[in-house]
Amino acid sequence: MKPRILVIGGSYFAGRVFTMVAADRCELTLLNRGRYSMSRYPGVQEVRCDRHDTAALSALPPADYDAVVDFCAYAPGDVETLCGALKSSFKKYIYISTADVYDRAAPQPWTEQTPVGTDFSFAGPDTGAYLAGKAALERECAAVCAAKGADCVILRPAFLYGPYNYAPREPWYIRTAVSGQPIPQPTDADGRFQFVYVKDLAMAVLACLGPDAPAGARAYNLAAPEVLDYAGFLATLQSVADRPIPTTPVTVEQVLRENLPLPFPLRAAESELFDGSLAERELGLHYTPFRDGMEKAWNAFAPIFAEMNK
């Protein structure tokens, strides 16, 4: 019998890819606002509902789910409100958090044993609120699951990339390259960073749903072992592109002064390095090599941006 999964979200980026991968392996019920339909995939049932609409949630018929997979909880109270309003039961709650929740004063690479931060003001108002919300929701998820006797699993991805990504990271680079505009290349940046391919996140979720997954409260970093800087990132992009990619040299100071939209850490002090090996050992996760993932991203985005430029 296929596991019955309630997916909160499931139609944008990471949730969309999970739905595509899991549709033939699970019975999926997607609860979201219905902006993008996934009904063409077999085994997918869609419930159009805002997760904050407690009246609508309470009106849904009860069901017994093997797990809830939550892709879109951001503000404190999101998990508690959802679980309090639903009449359904679940055995496991898988919450998609972020690897950026760790205490930045802790030594790197950060592992699952690294303390979660409490002060995210360094990130600015918007990002700081986002990170504080994620950290609070991790605690909230653990408390809700403990009260319900369910397992709590926290997944903390590094920079997610791949097809359907709406964040202005690799899609911005690919769009700029396809348009023929030069890409700013910081010559003195020494920041380092890691990625995880979006399908790897989907496979990690599936592994958490499997019969061999560890029971109880668990947390997993999702970060491929390759450590990149801007030079390595751009070299990889050039290696998968079907055309020469022009670049223009810039300094870190120039990037900051001109507010250039470079999305990754520029300075060593901003570096974010993680140990993602626990997911390999306990979940059997195999990370996609960065070049392979970027090739898939290029092949997904480049034709779309080329068509837009016509």
Q: Are 211 and 232 in contact (CB under 8 A)?
A: no
Q: What pLDDT score was predicted for residue 309?
A: 84
Domains of the chain are 4-308 (3.40.50.720)
- CA–CA separation, 230 vs 43, rounded Å? 41
Instruction: Please give the span between the terminal C-alpha atoms of the chain, in angstroms, as a whole number.
Output: 49
Q: Are 114 and 90 in contact (CB under 8 A)?
A: no
Residues of the chain where predicted confidence (pLDDT) is lower than 50: none
Residue with tokens 């995880």: 196
Structure tokens at 179: 């348009």
- CA–CA separation, 290 vs 13, rounded Å? 18
Spatial CB neighbours of 252, under 8 Å, sequence gap ≥ 6: 186, 188, 189, 266, 267
